[in-house]
């Protein structure tokens, strides 16, 4: 009986191997032995059968549970971003890209081997609790994250609206004993509605002087980001905006198409914004500016920091390489890999790293990041004050006193750079004006063949 079950199981896995792997067969290394697939599939089938037959807890050894556990382990062993998506994870991913989901309102990632907060979303449980970028998550509901993979951590953080989550966090403070303060927060999950574009405004005269400088912050790249940005820019342009600051600090990324559309608003049509390179020809792609509606060619300063990742790095790399913006701040996170989502049927899917991103000048982003043109490092304390100043929740008296000390040196440097560009352009225009006038006068007094004065020819 056992042999019969093993035979059936092996047959099933060989069929699965054939269905999922036939397209990639030719891309497998030539050094791989022809019978390696057979031996590996046999080993997998034997282990699964032994687990089903002898494991002490029968409720944990269904074919579905064991198969999905094996898939999760296989993909998590590749990199932090590849993931098997079960029914719940697949639905969550689809909801997130549409700008609404249930959760804590925090974006997490792995940095220097630790699980860290990349960005707390405004008007969310995480944002209102005062969680900051760079906070390390030590425990989730009492369970240590030390050996926890990123997909497992994300799954642990997700849940239904109304459910509670207990987080133990470490906030790095250079002068503190042990390197920082450990604290706990209890969050209640709720429906998060993501607005990508925030704080669109004209900067006050106290900062911008006589210049009319617009400011807009992009929190992440979703389906509606392009339209939201168009609406914000049109309002600023009607207010007479001459220069623009785009704030991508703590932006964790999002949809590739959205990032390409945002960069394309400030670039000529059809210019390459980002390219990808993977193992197969269909993963070698170029993504070009395709936005029909162009905005005026005003000077742009882009704010970035160590938690600007993925889509934010694509925008920053393109506008820097193509000389369309000045980058101010700190080197970005360095998450420049492409995850392709493949539905597998029955409500499950696969998120797999298939390529890496490259800027228009063919520089890699992954594990390198985008360096600013003007480096302005700030302390963790300054970072926290800036985020407190941006929050919409009521502040405690202590927080209000802290915010009163806020000095956004990165924004101030971006503004001074834009003002310098404006002064330089005006002076260059003044220097070139007499030369153009002289040339025009010379053209308008050219001689006709009969010796009379003739109008200048159009050139």
**Active centre residues (catalytic):** 310, 321, 335
d(CA 45, CA 133): 44
How would you class 190 by CB atoms within 10 Å of its CB: exposed for 0-12, middle for 13-18, buried for 19 or more? middle
From the list 95, 26, 8, 71, the residue with the least C-alpha distance to 350 is 71
**Residue 138 backbone zone (phi > 0: left; psi -120 to 50: alpha; other: beta):** alpha
Q: Which of 173, 320, 171 is nearest to 248 (CA)?
A: 320
3 state SS for 351-402: EEEEEEEECCCCCECCCCCCCCCEECCCCHHHHHHHHHHHCCCCCCHHHHHH
Angle at Cα 216 formed by Cα 213 and Cα 218, nearest 5°? 155
* Residues 233, 265 contacting (CB under 8 angstroms): yes
d(CA 396, CA 344): 49
Query: Distance between CA atoms of 292 and 268, rounded to whole angstroms?
Result: 10
Return the exposure string of 18-38: e unless at least 16 CB atoms fall within 10 Å of the residue's CB, then b: eeeeeeeeeeeeeeeeeeebe
SS3 405: coil
CB 192 within 8 A of CB 105: yes
Alpha helices in 57-119 (DSSP H): 63-76, 87-97
Phi, psi of 84 (to 5 degrees): -85, 130
Residue 61 token pair: 């050894």
Q: Give CA–CA dist 357/286, Å, rounded.
A: 10
What count of other Cβ atoms lies within 10 Å of the Cβ of residue 253? Answer: 25
How far is C-alpha 130 from the geometric centre of its chain's CA atoms? 21
Least Cα distance to 324 among 284, 292, 359 occurs for: 359
Angle (deg, nearest 10), helices 225-238 and 256-264: 20
């Amino acid at each position: 009986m056992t042999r019969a079950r093993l035979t059936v199981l092996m047959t099933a896995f060989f069929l699965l191997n054939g269905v999922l792997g036939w397209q990639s067969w030719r891309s497998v290394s030539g050094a791989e032995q022809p019978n390696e697939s057979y031996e590996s599939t046999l080993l997998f089938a034997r282990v699964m059968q032994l687990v089903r037959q002898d494991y002490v807890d029968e409720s944990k050894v269904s074919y579905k549970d064991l198969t999905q556990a094996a898939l999760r382990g296989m993909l998590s062993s590749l990199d932090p971003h590849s993931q098997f998506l079960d029914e719940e994870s697949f639905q969550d991913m689809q909801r997130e890209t549409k700008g609404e989901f249930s959760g804590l309102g925090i974006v997490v990632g792995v940095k220097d081997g630790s699980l860290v907060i990349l960005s707390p979303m405004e008007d969310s449980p995480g944002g209102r609790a005062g969680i900051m970028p760079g906070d390390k998550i030590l425990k989730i509901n009492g369970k240590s994250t030390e050996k926890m993979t990123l997909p497992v951590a994300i799954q642990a953080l997700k849940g239904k609206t109304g459910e509670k989550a207990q987080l133990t966090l470490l906030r790095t403070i250079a002068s503190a004993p042990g390197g920082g303060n450990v604290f706990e927060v209890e969050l209640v999950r709720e429906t998060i509605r993501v607005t990508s574009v925030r704080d669109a405004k004209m900067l006050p005269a106290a900062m911008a002087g006589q210049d009319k400088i617009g400011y807009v912050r992009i929190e992440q790249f979703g389906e509606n980001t392009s339209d939201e940005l168009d609406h914000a820019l049109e309002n600023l342009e009607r207010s007479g905006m001459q220069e623009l600051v785009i704030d991508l600090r703590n932006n964790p990324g999002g949809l590739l198409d959205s990032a390409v559309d945002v960069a394309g608003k400030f670039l000529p049509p059809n210019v390459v914004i980002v390219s990808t390179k993977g193992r197969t020809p269909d993963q070698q792609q170029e993504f070009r500016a395709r936005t029909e509606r162009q905005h005026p060619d005003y000077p742009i300063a882009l704010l970035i920091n160590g938690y600007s990742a993925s889509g934010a790095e694509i925008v920053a790399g393109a506008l820097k390489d193509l000389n369309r913006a000045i980058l101010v701040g700190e080197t970005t996170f360095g998450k420049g890999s492409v995850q392709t989502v493949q539905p597998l049927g029955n409500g499950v899917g696969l998120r797999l790293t298939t390529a890496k991103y490259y800027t228009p000048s063919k520089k890699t982003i992954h594990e390198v990041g985008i360096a600013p043109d003007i480096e302005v490092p700030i302390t963790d304390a300054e970072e926290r004050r800036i985020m407190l100043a941006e929050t919409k929740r009521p502040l405690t008296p202590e927080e209000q006193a802290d915010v009163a000390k806020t000095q956004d040196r990165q924004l101030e440097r971006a503004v001074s750079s834009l003002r310098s560009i404006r002064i330089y352009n005006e002076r260059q225009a003044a220097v070139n004006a007499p030369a153009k006038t002289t040339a025009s006068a010379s053209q308008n007094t050219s001689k006709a063949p009969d010796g009379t004065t003739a109008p200048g020819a159009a050139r």
